[in-house]
Amino acid sequence: MTIGVDRNNWREGILTDLGTVSRGRSRHRPRNDPILFGGSYPFFQTGDVKTATLWLDRYWATYNDVGLEQSKLWPSQTLCITIAANIADSAILGIPGCFPDSIVGFTVDDSVADVRFVKYMLDYIQQRFQGISRGTTQDNLSLEKLLSVNFRYPPLRVQRKIGTILSTYDDLIENNSRRIKILEEMAQQIYREWFVEFRYQGHEDVPLVDSKLGSIPTEWAWKELRDVVELAYGKALKADTRRNGSVPVFGSGGAVGEHDIALVDGPGIVVGRKGNVGSVYWSDKPFFPIDTTYFVRTGLPMSYVYFALQDLAFIDSHAAVPGLSREQAYGLPFMLPDAQILMAFDDVVTPIIALKRTLNEQNTSLCTARDLLLPRLISGEIDMDKLDIETAESSA
């Protein structure tokens, strides 16, 4: 690898030098009108782009024919760039889809640019976009501002090499993420089979008996949550007081950052107290739950409590700011199975949880390696001409 690469063959330009740019379309008002939704056309929003890695193919909403008529179906390989809510996040459509005018669509000119390179280049200069987008009320990146930022880019053959290297990391991350999702679904299905449908190991020999909440196996019981679980309060930790570290910080929306000191040993469970009321999160390692959450103390296997809490009907008890009353939560019914069944369930799902942890750790390492490599590649610090890398074009 060579430092101080000759960049005389690199050019300077803006996005429209590499392809065409136009805003997404959502003409109907209000944008959330139910008549637009429930069809077969994927509808991607800024949050979907933010949570994607390289490829954008996961979505929470779909347009019907009415929705499509007031929008546009963009082809796969379109680069989506957010210009409102979260600024200059980007991902490439893996499937055709629609998106609103808070997202810009970039269609690459294949004769001059590689769409993967453009996406990673945007990641590299994202802070520049965010800097020119700051407003008094809400950040916004207009098309004019988007096209005002100049950048340098290498010849197409070098772009393809850079895109191939960095996308290899993202493809591995995405593959691991899909495996993690499958493992989560497996564990959830096992829980439901054992504790909702009562088809656990040896269930054939255990009769069901009546209880106040329906038939349950003999030796099982309904308790109140307060009898088996303590919801302990998290502790205030403002973002500007957090120190660099590897301890995950949890809010009611999940992991919100990192700190250098843990409040609770892992593994552990976090329950949303304010904001996302009753949300339930798992942490494999020591963590810091902030004051918008509860964390769980219990003598029961954490694996069972984690899934059982997701089945509880937590209620928002505050009119202004969403909030979960601990007294209301403590009064909820909680099924307490036979101790041997609980231990057997823990034995079954613990290897699944361990494999999820391994895959998450791999993803953390892959993200770190990619993020260290990305600026060196995009800036031209590494001489790509000296690297023999097979790209899609060269292998065709």
Instruction: At 212, list the tokens.
Output: 């106040």
The answer to whether the CB of 224 falls within 8 A of the CB of 340 is no
Residues 6+ apart with CB under 8 A from 252: 272, 273, 274, 275, 276, 277, 279, 292, 293
Mean pLDDT of 219-243: 96
Band (pLDDT 50/70/90 cuts) for residue 392 is low
Band (pLDDT 50/70/90 cuts) for residue 319 is low
> CA distances (Å), 285 to each of 257, 293, 363, in order?
14, 17, 15
pLDDT tens for 323-354 read 899 999 999 999 999 999 999 999 999 999 99
Three-state DSSP at 35 gives helix
Q: If we measure between CA atoms, which residue out of 385, 370, 323, 366 comes closest to residue 124?
A: 370
Backbone dihedral angles phi then psi of residue 280, each to the nearest 5 degrees: -125, 130
Instruction: At 60, list the tokens.
Output: 């929470």
How far, in Å, CA of 333 to CA of 315, rounded?
13
The position carrying tokens 């280049």 is 121
- Provide the β-strand partners of residue 62: 42
Percent of the chain with pLDDT over 90: 86
Mean pLDDT score across all residues of the chain: 93
Instruction: At 127, list the tokens.
Output: 């802070």
How far, in Å, CA of 252 to CA of 272, rounded?
4
The type of residue at 318 is H
- Among the residue ranges 1-15, 160-174, 241-255, 279-293, the one predicted with the least confidence is 1-15
Band (pLDDT 50/70/90 cuts) for residue 379 is very high
Tell me the domains of the chain and their CATH numbers: 11-153 (3.90.220.20), 179-351 (3.90.220.20)
DSSP symbol at 74: B
Could you tell me the pTM of the whole model?
Answer: 0.85
Sign of CA dihedral 185, 191, 196, 201: positive
Band (pLDDT 50/70/90 cuts) for residue 5 is low
pLDDT tens for 56-99 read 999 999 999 999 999 999 999 999 999 987 899 999 999 999 99
DSSP symbol at 63: E
